[in-house]
Amino acid sequence: MYHKILDKVGQLNTPCYCYDLRLLRSTLNAINHEIEGFPFVVHYAVKANANPVILKEIKQAGLGVDLVSGNEIKTAVAAGFGPELMAFAGVGKSDWEIEAGLESGIYCFNVESEQELEVINDIAAQRGMTAGVALRVNPDIDAHTHRYITTGTAANKFGIDLPMLDRVLDRAMEMSNIHLRGLHFHIGSQIMSIQPFELLCNRINSLLQHYEDKGIIFEMIDAGGGLGVDYEHPEENKIAGFHEFFDVFKRCLNVRAGQKVHFELGRSIVAQCGVLLSRVLFVKESSVKHFVILDAGMTDLLRPALYGSHHKIVNLTSRESELVTYDVVGPICESSDVFAHDEQLPVTQRGDLVAILSAGAYGESMASTYNMRSLPQSVFFE
């Protein structure tokens, strides 16, 4: 995509997000290829990137959506997703968001506490409606990822603790305006090994058996998302390890007849198709460092500042072969506004164009207007 960006560069205002729609389509095809013939339903986690052009591609590929706010519900409806493919998750849903979910007729609320279940039942009863529900279980599995994006251990705020599940499930079964569809799990994000997913399957299997012994068979299981992407070698590994990921569930999960397994993938669908394009404003030196100062900052891509995560950086315009070690930083008045420490780049000058790779997920969607900056624009390449 780089040469296409450079062809169009006169028309681009930086910083901006550039998306490779061909790569997005290949990624979606890879997913559809893996799930074909299996009772699997893939929802796209809209929080990763809610850009309408991206959503249109995802809808065309036939995926559903995983939503976490009333505004995401509205966005998904506007993008044409059908309610039967919508799940609404989140540990704190406001009443108006629950109403928005009911009005849209969404397939499933992923419910995280007994109190939330009661509130949904009440709001549904007031409207003479029934809410489809999956109980989000905290499976107490450590996904060995960044502490800010691990979700499935008992110390996290997410899900219903295993020892309390029986009680909440009994309550759900007796509520007149709740239709219990199944159980929901999500153990974390940017998970690079399959072992946590194997542990998750084992946990799900024992829960399915436990409830089957009580005469309960769920219509669905939602295994969440979390498949990681290669931030260090994005050009070599453009498409995430969907084969290995789905293979775990094909091998390890004891799916009952007629039961569907849902997934909620965000990052692995959109991360690699997006780069953040930025222009070098200044190059400066201190007694110990060389700095490249970009016009993009943590307001455009928060991940490095928030999680200390590293995205590969490419200078698209330098013709130099000599490499220099730079700290690549943004213009925001925060010391954490650093994209990379000690990054090796060819000799870089004011005016050079730089691409920060693997920025399609949790990039544009986490952008802010801090320092009264403008939100980054987006452009698309076929």
User: Which of residues 186 and 279 has its CB atom nearest to ligand LLP in the complex?
Assistant: 186
Q: Closest separation between CB of residue 361 and ligand LLP, Å?
A: 6
Of the candidate residues 15, 226, 274, 304, the single one contacting ligand LLP (CB under 6 A): 226
**Distance in Å, CB of 149 to ligand LLP, minimum:** 5
CB of 116 to ligand LLP, least distance (A): 14
Query: What minimum distance in Å lies between the beta carbon of 70 and ligand LLP?
Result: 16
Decide if residue 159 touches ligand LLP (CB under 6 A): no
**265 is a contact residue toward ligand LLP (CB under 6 A):** yes
Number of residues that bind ligand LLP (CB under 6 A): 20
Site for ligand LLP in 165-204 (CB under 6 A): 186, 189-190
Q: Closer to ligand LLP by CB, 88 or 218: give it.
A: 88
> Out of 132, 152, 224, 274, which residue is the one contacting ligand LLP (CB under 6 A)?
224
Q: Which span (53-61, 210-218, 261-269, 311-319) binds ligand LLP, by CB under 6 A?
A: 261-269
Per residue, the 3-state secondary structure of the chain, as one string, reads: CHHHHHHCHHHCCCCEEEEEHHHHHHHHHHHHHHHCCCCEEEEEEHHHCCCHHHHHHHHHCCCEEEECCHHHHHHHHHCCCCHHHEEECCCCCCHHHHHHHHHHCCCEEEECCHHHHHHHHHHHHHCCCCEEEEEEEECCCCCCCCCCCECCCCCCCCCEEHHHHHHHHHHHHHCCCEEEEEEECCCECCECCCHHHHHHHHHHHHHHHHHHHCCCCCCEEECCCCECCCCCCCCCCCCCCHHHHHHHHHHHCCCCCCCEEEEEECHHHHHHHEEEEEEEEEEEECCCCEEEEECCCCCCCCHHHHHCCCCCEEECCCCCCCEEEEEEECCCCCCCCEEEEEEEEECCCCCCEEEECCCCCCCHHHCCCHHHCCCCEEEEEC
Contact flag: residue 116 with ligand LLP (CB under 6 A): no
Select from 275, 338, 362, 376 the one that contacts ligand LLP (CB under 6 A): 362
- Does 93 help bind ligand LLP (rule: CB under 6 A)? no
**64 is a site residue for ligand LLP (CB under 6 A):** no
Task: Find the shortest distance in angstroms from Cβ 48 to ligand LLP.
Answer: 5
Q: Which CB sits closer to ligand LLP, 79 or 149?
A: 149
* CB crowding 357-374: b at 16 or more within 10 Å, else e: bbbbbbbbbbbeeeeebe
Residue 143 lies near ligand LLP (rule: CB under 6 A): no
Indicate the residue among 107 and 326 with the shorter CB distance to ligand LLP: 107
- Residue from 89, 106, 134, 328 that binds ligand LLP (CB under 6 A)? 89
Q: Contact residues for ligand LLP (CB under 6 A)?
A: 45, 48, 66, 89, 149, 186, 189-190, 224-227, 264-268, 303, 307, 362
